[in-house]
Amino acid sequence: MTDDVLGPGDARSPGGLAAERLRWGAGGRLLVDGVDVTAPPGTVTGLLGPNGSGKTTLLRLLAGVRRPEDGTVVLDGTDLHAASARARARAVALVEQDATTDLPITVLDAVLLGRIPHRSLLAGPRASDRTAALEALDAAGAAALRDREVTTLSGGERQRVHLARALAQQPRLLLLDEPTNHLDVRAQLETMTVLRKLVADGVTVVTALHELTMAAHACDHVVLLAAGRVVAAGTVEDVLVPEVLEPVYGVRVDVLRHPRTGRPVLAYAES
């Protein structure tokens, strides 16, 4: 492996993400406690769990932003934490929850930041970087915002721009922390359609989500966390069921069916 290229890894090992036995603690508490996450390429994996269950902490470990105290993160056969920061930046994009955008720069320049791992640090953006950024803006439904200053954007507009920056990065693994929490219903569905298109191109996607019906709509697999541990992992049909969800969330859950798609629609009531 060279300094700035991650993978392609061992041809015999399965592609996608394979994280095993991840452990990370802070403040004298284990926040991620022996977690395994497997996400094959071509799939969207939903990371679910109540507030404080460890989703954000786990995403940072998977992204290589934080080094686990124990365990491994392997992407396409290559150990992510053994790779250089530049190699990781080429391979992995993380869209953080409520990422701040307080630089006085245009949306297009913000999205061009996603191209930095792919170009020489001393050189400015090339025509191909600009093309990739414009395509990413278009895919994220943010093309009309390209000349706006990012500090003036609404919460939902910022969320689209953050997604566009990650798309411009052209990662093999895209990690997202509640990418739809500021979006109106149409924009939520559009974001999930963007993720489905990415996985169709072989990208591996792992996204934290609170809205379980959205997870049922868009995910192939889900991983349910509680208190830093995986309490269930599998298909939507296996995991998004009352007997699994009710003890974790402490609410009554009924699973209905979407009249158009047949996918699960979850209804909640206080227990």
Which stretches of the chain bind ligand ATP, using CB under 6 A? 26-27, 31, 49, 51-57
Least gap, CB of 217 to ligand ATP (angstroms):
19
Q: Are 137 and 146 in contact (CB under 8 A)?
A: yes
State the DSSP string of 63-102: HTSS--SEEEEEETTEEGGGS-HHHHHHHEEEE-TT----
**H or E, element range at 180:** none
**CB of 49 or CB of 117, closer to ligand ATP:** 49
Least gap, CB of 253 to ligand ATP (angstroms):
18
**CB of 46 or CB of 49, closer to ligand ATP:** 49
Least gap, CB of 61 to ligand ATP (angstroms):
10
Across the chain, where does the E strand assignment appear? 17-26, 29-39, 44-48, 70-75, 78-79, 92-95, 173-177, 204-208, 221-226, 229-235, 251-257, 264-270
Start-to-end CA distance of the chain, whole Å, equals: 54
**CB of 20 or CB of 211, closer to ligand ATP:** 211
Least gap, CB of 48 to ligand ATP (angstroms):
9
Least gap, CB of 199 to ligand ATP (angstroms):
22
Distances (CA, A) of 238 to 2, 49, 233, 268: 41, 15, 8, 18
**CB of 22 or CB of 31, closer to ligand ATP:** 31
Least gap, CB of 153 to ligand ATP (angstroms):
22
Least gap, CB of 155 to ligand ATP (angstroms):
16
What does DSSP say about strands 29-39 and 17-26: parallel, antiparallel, or unpaired? antiparallel
Q: Are 111 and 143 in contact (CB under 8 A)?
A: no
**CB of 55 or CB of 172, closer to ligand ATP:** 55
Tokens (6 digits) for 195: 């993720």
**CB of 129 or CB of 177, closer to ligand ATP:** 177
Compute the C-alpha angle 97/99/101, nearest 5°.
160
**CB of 31 or CB of 111, closer to ligand ATP:** 31
Integer Cα distance of 218 and 240 in angstroms? 13
